[in-house]
Structure 1
């Protein structure tokens, strides 16, 4: 039975990973693992904390005594849209490993497009030996990162280290060392200068469906890569996939790398699977490491119980 020392775990992750990570997590606490069938009818009303990723729609109706809710990932839209969410702090998962993994994916995809990855992959399939003579340098390409939270800021800095020209955009103006940044009032200028657009936006009412034809048509059409490229590893709901497919087909976009989709898993009949100018990865750019997540949660609970403020609390007025 839950008590004031209890923590609820409701994570739609690999069961083996969750069970293994829980073996040494949260010493001295009652842990209620919602993935265990025995928890289905347990009284959750006195539990103090919940760690969730795409939680059961009835969870917050049952767990009415929570002091804080912890997201199992950097995104929080899956929490904020759950019915009966209590008026308690919601905490994002911020961790070095998660941040590094996202930046690795972004840098990998930018280099893939810079270094003719599609061309050489097709040549390998045909056993063709032919060098692409036109090879721009990273410094010739401007990458525009939309979303400058922890993940976006880190990706922007690492792209800069690789030699790319980097711009940053966020709804509200942010300062990044050595990187020119824009806010909502300067979106069109930002887009006009961008050769590779990187989407790392949170999903909010303002960003839902933001990446549409109108955005893609404003990207730089005269850059070193021969056309604009779109990368999205933020949230699938931020892109309009019908527009994206059409723009990839008619040349509005030269290519894309996509880790997130409007509906996941991506439908087997989606045209994106077969498009020769598209990289598809299965929402794997920055998978949460469960042990790191539990360490993060334990650190934050220790802060609460020591009378210290929580870190990385979601601002409910903006949704992230």
Structure 2
């Protein structure tokens, strides 16, 4: 019998329990899955950073911590977590991100907001450019960035991907490093931020890098709030250099009611919905990692503690 502790917010238990039991059964794993187990008896921890667990020192038998979140910035620096840590990468999460990104890229590309607010009698014609004439840059070429890049390239957009290290992706122009960042930004009419939240990525978009973008460029941030210098972005929106920002993640969530993003005419706020973990697909990833661990195979999506993701 394998003992698995569900260490996410208690109200999430009903959301995940059936899917986890079903996935464990399908993987032929005989397990006791519970929200309450003696720490010394726990073999695996299913974890969410917004749950109650902070101190892992009592879990001396635990073989791995399996996160329900793609982002691990809130836990990767916890010195008490000494066992392997795996982040969540699942098809449902990837597809959700692709759909959010593709939807908002097309919204801005086709200037749908303008039509939504068109007044009666306004029959002013316009011809949007084709996708081939709308360069898009994705900052971050992890799993989510790659999937979004492939989807947009499939629609005909010229896609440039930037990462901190060298990558090669068929159909995408791939750049890396500090010099590559400037190159990736200078032609980008739409920029999508999908970098992890680490000290090295904080304020990737700041006054200097925003100025590298073409006049009227649009920014989409479904990645992490700290990737953007908020004051610099607001200034660039106010002076017209940036045409619009659609933001799904913020430094403080929920976004405070008095935050200027709520009230800015060139900002669209969405409430961190770009890619939610879905129980059915996430449970299968959890079960597969437990199966792999028990079979002596390497874990999927193991976190590099030094890199921070």
The question of a shared fold, defined as TM-score above 0.5 by the shorter chain, is answered with yes
CA shift in 2, pair 1:192/1:233, >3 Å = same
1:117, CA displacement in angstroms? 1.9
1:19, CA displacement in angstroms? 4.1
Equivalent pair of 1:241/1:262 in contact (CA under 8 Å) = no
**Number of the residue aligned with 2:242:** 253
| Aligned with residue 84 of structure 1, among 80, 92, 95 | 80
Equivalent pair of 1:169/1:182 in contact (CA under 8 Å) = yes
Gaps of 5+ in 2: none
1:150, CA displacement in angstroms? 0.8
User: After the TM superposition, which residues 226-245 of structure 1 pair with which residues of structure 2 at under 5 Å, given as runs?
Assistant: 227-245=216-234
User: After the TM superposition, which residues 1-320 of structure 1 pair with which residues of structure 2 at under 5 Å, given as runs?
Assistant: 5-12=2-9, 14-22=12-20, 24-27=22-25, 28-33=30-35, 39=36, 43-54=38-49, 55-56=51-52, 58-86=54-82, 88-123=83-118, 126-127=119-120, 129-184=122-177, 185-221=179-215, 227-320=216-309
1:128, CA displacement in angstroms? 5.0
> Using the alignment, how far apart are the partners of 2:166 and 2:14 within structure 1?
42
1:189, CA displacement in angstroms? 1.3
Gaps of 5+ in 1: 34-38, 222-226
Q: SS state of the match for residue 205, structure 2? A: coil
1:83, CA displacement in angstroms? 4.9
CA shift in 2, pair 1:275/1:15, >3 Å = farther
Equivalent pair of 1:239/1:262 in contact (CA under 8 Å) = no
> Using the alignment, how far apart are the partners of 1:154 and 1:52 within structure 2?
25
1:217, CA displacement in angstroms? 0.9
Q: SS state of the match for residue 38, structure 2? A: coil
Equivalent pair of 1:53/1:79 in contact (CA under 8 Å) = no
| Deviation string, structure 1 residues 145-177 (Cα, Å, up to 9, x no partner) | 010011101100110111111100000010000
Equivalent pair of 1:188/1:218 in contact (CA under 8 Å) = yes
Q: SS state of the match for residue 242, structure 2? A: coil
Q: SS state of the match for residue 254, structure 1? A: strand
| Deviation string, structure 1 residues 271-308 (Cα, Å, up to 9, x no partner) | 21222222211111110002221211111111111121
Equivalent pair of 1:232/1:258 in contact (CA under 8 Å) = yes
| Deviation string, structure 1 residues 50-100 (Cα, Å, up to 9, x no partner) | 1212143534134333211112122121221345221x2211212112111
Q: SS state of the match for residue 40, structure 2? A: coil
Equivalent pair of 2:20/2:287 in contact (CA under 8 Å) = no
Q: SS state of the match for residue 301, structure 2? A: coil
Q: Which has the higher contact order (CA 8 A, sep 6+)?
A: 2
| Deviation string, structure 1 residues 101-142 (Cα, Å, up to 9, x no partner) | 11111111111111112211222xx44543441411111111
**Number of the residue aligned with 1:36:** none
Coordinate RMSD, CA, aligned: 2.0
Comparing 69-78 with 105-114, greater Cα deviation is found at 69-78
Comparing 23-32 with 160-169, greater Cα deviation is found at 23-32
TM superposition score normalised by structure 1: 0.88
